[in-house]
A and B are shown apart, each in its own frame.
Chain A
Amino acid sequence: MWHRSRSARGVLLAVGVATAASATLTGCSSPATQAPKPSAAGGTGGALVVGVTSDPDTLFPWKATQFQAVNVLQNIYGTLTEFDKDLNTVPGLATSWKTSKDGRTLTFTLRDGVTFSDGSAFDSKDVKFSLDKIKDEATAAVASASLASVTSVDAPDPKTVVLHLSAPDAALPSNLAVVNMAILSSDDTEASLNTVPDGTGPFVLKNRVPSQSLTLARNDKYWGDDRPKLDGIEFRVIPDESSIVSAMQSGNVQLAVFDDPLVARTAEAARLTVAKTPQLSYHALQLNGRRGDLGDLNVRLAVQCAIDRKQVLDTAALGEGTVTGPITAPAFKSNPDQRPCPTRDLGKAAEYLGKAGKGSGVTIKTIVSQGSYSTSVNEAQNLKAQLAEAKINLDLEVLESGAYVDRWVAGDFDAAVALNGGRPDPDGMYSRYFTSTGNLNKVTGYSSPELDKLFAAGKATTDQNERKAIYDKVSAELENNAPWIWLFTSYTYTATTSQVQGFIPMANGSLQYLRTTAVN
């Protein structure tokens, strides 16, 4: 029987070899993955571990749209202007800016003594390089449309940059504050930045293990008055949100941002501190004005009147949010009570349908994305139930997010249940959708001379009160014509363990205040 026992050993031997092989392979190809150990020793503010469900899909700031990528890159790169915690536009790499009398030139004075993380100095050459490249369509930068009004960029001296505009653009300073407008060094290329970021932000990339972790270290040469306190930040990928809560419970992770109220509730139950921040992003039912019955204003208004938004919010999103009009930025907020039918009015809805000659009802093919955010399908269900009572039949198509995006981009839908990102400036937020030249107008299918005029006027003045009045009119125009049905905004939930101090969550979801955060 000797051969049998040998075979048995053979099995074990094979197992041993496999394990050893896996050990060497893992060993030689993996850079040090040691997490910064949360400790007060060594630095002033310790090291923070942030739990995230996925890692950035790109490290190139001009192409980053994924939430995670934006959050990481915001801490590495700098922009000419920045937002403060209330979303006011404040100086960033530019210490000040001035608009000419005719509004057609915008002159920036740049900050002194700023360096990129590779050691090279920051000056106007880098700004000109960056803005020109972002405008260049071959770069495929996602924010290029925000520079549509910029005809040319001059750099008369190292500390001055002049933007020449085709028309006044009051929204420009605020549009420059996003990481998609990051100022890159003119020596860098997309290919090099994809692996080695080179920014002027408060942190620098220290180490990255794809789909596992991304670690930042403090940039000691950062220009800001709030010098970053943390020695390092690790964004640790834990794909499952409930596993993140478990990891926070066991103290391995100290900070995480959730958008699902249920996860937030579990985090609270796990004795973590949870802060609720209202968001600029909004939930809406987008109607496609180019499709069938929806071209008729009366049909759209019937939909507008047949929906109790509070009910959608309560049933689909656990009541966690606020009913909203189009503009969600605090400084320009629309008043949702001023829309036609601020409360549900089935009588009016029937009247509008009658006016449209559709007394017997209409059917609207509606696309719903599954999996991209937690409330989508439930919202759609509730909208369907409510509209059915007004003889409006929402024909729901629940699509996997890839299929949803395909259909949305092609404008192939009557209506879409959507969660849209908001912006601090209403022009940046809506002119792309609702002006006749907007680059997303092909999807919304609605514009009007009035709206074109209003958006132009809003850009022509820098006076805050005047702008507020103009965008109130924009809101009214949008609600009265109901190209979309605005529903509600929700919150993000920042969960922290008791060691974390000084973090300020923002309404645009930004993690920029990691630079003021410390871990005890």
Chain B
Amino acid sequence: MLQTVIHNRIARRLVSMIGTLFGVAVFVFIMLRAIPGDQITAGLGTEAAALSPAQQEALQRYYGLDQSLFTQFFSWLGNLFTGNLGYSARAQQSVLDLTLHSLPVTIELAVLSIILALLIGIPLGMLAASRPESPRDVFGQFVSLAGLSVPAFLLATTLLSVFASSFGFNPNGQGYATLTGDPVLNLQQMLMPALVLGFGIAAPILRTTRAAVLEVRSDDFVRTARAKGVPPRRLQTKHVLGNALVPIVTMTGLQFGYLLGGAVVVEQIFSVPGIGRQVLLGIQQKEYAVVQSTVLVIALTFVIVNLLTDVLYRVIDPRVRAS
């Protein structure tokens, strides 16, 4: 009985995920065609006017623009199932190869940002909650407000110019180093972008932590534990934070999903060859296959991260597990 319920639930969830991805595919396909210009004019600019009809035709055939929209859509979709995400004429690489380069870069950046955010957000949130409306709480609120309000590009630009001009520290000016190729340089290059993004994400994490800690502390079982004489520090870390973990995990999952496409501005400023930049370049060059497949990859990652968050949430939430 229970088994089938669970199976049904997973099945429904999977169907809904596939539906969502299909929707994203249709949406991105249509939207790209609605943007003025195509790959020919994106490459040639106004020189495109000089093309003779025969040249125009040759180029359309070259870029696959001579096929009907219907054919374009379904041949793209069909190819996806064979692992063929399309080909980038600009990069002379398959979109799969491009993505295998750029997705890990963005995931690394997102993971580092989240780690920094958790390192800033959780302690400050607990500190703030430990004595509401005291100076430390005000300080926490101030930090979170700053994190929410300072635009990433402003912080990024300022950091870069201050460090490069005043201290001559500019790891991002060197060619991008891979994590395996040169981990030290790679981490240096990730430091500033991860700080900028992490600072922004720290705010909601700080707020969530603070609220969760306050809420949990008023719960019965904590009161009981306190009555039982559990030392306050242990109570704080184990009981309270343990329970506050649920909303924090949820929030972290949400932010991770957001970072996949949201890091584009920071990637641009710090020359981080991530997946956001891949989409941006694709849009600029009107490389339809690149944008379509990459957006779909981002959406897929987002959907999976959501699923994992959900599973994790069920695993750690005592209330959900009890039921």
Residues of chain A whose beta carbon lies under 8 Å from any beta carbon of chain B: 1, 3-5, 7-8, 10-11, 14-15, 18-19, 21-27, 29-30, 32-35, 54, 57-59, 63, 65-66, 137-142, 144-145, 194-195, 209-213, 234, 236-240, 242-243, 246-253, 270, 372, 399-403, 405-406, 408-409, 411, 418, 432, 439-440, 442-443
Interface contact A406-B37, CB-CB below 8 Å: yes
Interface contact A409-B41, CB-CB below 8 Å: yes
**A27 and B179 in contact (CB under 8 A), knowing A211-B273, A408-B49?**
yes
Within 8 A of A (CB), among B151-192: 157, 160-161, 164-165, 168-170, 172-182
Partner of A243, one of B44, B115, B242, B271: B271
CB distance from A483 to the nearest CB of B (A): 16
Most B CB atoms within 10 A — which of A19, A27, A195, A405? A405
What CA separation (Å) do A242 and B180 show in the bound complex? 29
Within 8 Å CB of A139, what residues of B?
55, 58
Interface contact A210-B91, CB-CB below 8 Å: yes
Interface contact A239-B277, CB-CB below 8 Å: yes
Within 8 Å CB of A439, what residues of B?
49-50, 52
Chain B 247-284 against A: per-residue CB contact (8 Å), 1 yes, 0 no?
A: 00100000000000000000011110100011001000
Interface contact A25-B52, CB-CB below 8 Å: no
Interface contact A138-B312, CB-CB below 8 Å: no
For A240, the closest partner residue in chain B by CB is: B269
Partner of B43, one of A5, A24, A57, A138: A57
For A35, the closest partner residue in chain B by CB is: B175
Partner of B55, one of A137, A209, A251: A137
Interface contact B268-A240, CB-CB below 8 Å: yes
**A252 and B170 in contact (CB under 8 A), knowing A22-B107, A405-B37?**
yes
Pairs of residues from A and B, 5 with the lowest C-beta to C-beta distance, nearest first:
A247-B173, A402-B37, A210-B91, A27-B180, A22-B104
CB of B316 within 8 A of chain A? yes
What CA separation (Å) do A22 and B107 show in the bound complex? 7
Within 8 Å CB of B160, what residues of A?
242-243, 246
Partner of A21, one of B44, B88, B90, B104: B104
Interface contact B277-A211, CB-CB below 8 Å: yes
Interface contact B43-A58, CB-CB below 8 Å: yes
Within 8 Å CB of A34, what residues of B?
175, 181-182
What CA separation (Å) do A195 and B41 show in the bound complex? 22
Residues of chain B whose beta carbon lies under 8 Å from any beta carbon of chain A: 35-37, 41-52, 54-56, 58-59, 62, 88-93, 97-98, 100-101, 103-105, 107-108, 111, 114-115, 157, 160-161, 164-165, 168-170, 172-182, 238-239, 242, 245, 249, 268-271, 273, 277-278, 281, 285-286, 308, 312, 315-316
Most B CB atoms within 10 A — which of A11, A139, A243, A439? A243
Known pairs A19-B111, A211-B281, A439-B50 / 11 extra A-B pairs, C-beta < 8 Å: A18-B111, A21-B104, A22-B107, A22-B108, A34-B182, A57-B90, A58-B90, A239-B268, A239-B277, A248-B173, A443-B46
Interface contact B105-A250, CB-CB below 8 Å: no
Q: With contacts defined as CB atoms under 8 Å apart, how many contacts are there between chain A and chain B in the complex?
A: 219
For B96, the closest partner residue in chain A by CB is: A29
What CA separation (Å) do A421 and B269 show in the bound complex? 29
For A444, the closest partner residue in chain B by CB is: B49
**A195 and B175 in contact (CB under 8 A), knowing A1-B238, A22-B107, A212-B273?**
no
CB distance from B266 to the nearest CB of A (A): 11
Interface contact A247-B164, CB-CB below 8 Å: yes
**A246 and B49 in contact (CB under 8 A), knowing A22-B108, A402-B42?**
no
What CA separation (Å) do A234 and B36 show in the bound complex? 34
Interface contact A400-B36, CB-CB below 8 Å: yes
Interface contact A442-B49, CB-CB below 8 Å: yes
Interface contact B50-A145, CB-CB below 8 Å: yes
Within 8 Å CB of A23, what residues of B?
104, 108, 179-180
Within 8 Å CB of B35, what residues of A?
402
Interface contact A4-B157, CB-CB below 8 Å: no
CB distance from B282 to the nearest CB of A (A): 10
22 CB < 8 A contacts A-B: A8-B242, A10-B312, A22-B103, A22-B111, A29-B97, A30-B101, A35-B175, A142-B50, A195-B92, A209-B101, A212-B175, A212-B273, A236-B175, A239-B269, A246-B160, A249-B164, A252-B173, A401-B45, A402-B35, A402-B42, A409-B41, A439-B50
Interface contact A25-B172, CB-CB below 8 Å: no
Interface contact B181-A1, CB-CB below 8 Å: no
What CA separation (Å) do A252 and B268 show in the bound complex? 18
What CA separation (Å) do A454 and B148 show in the bound complex? 66
Interface contact B168-A250, CB-CB below 8 Å: yes
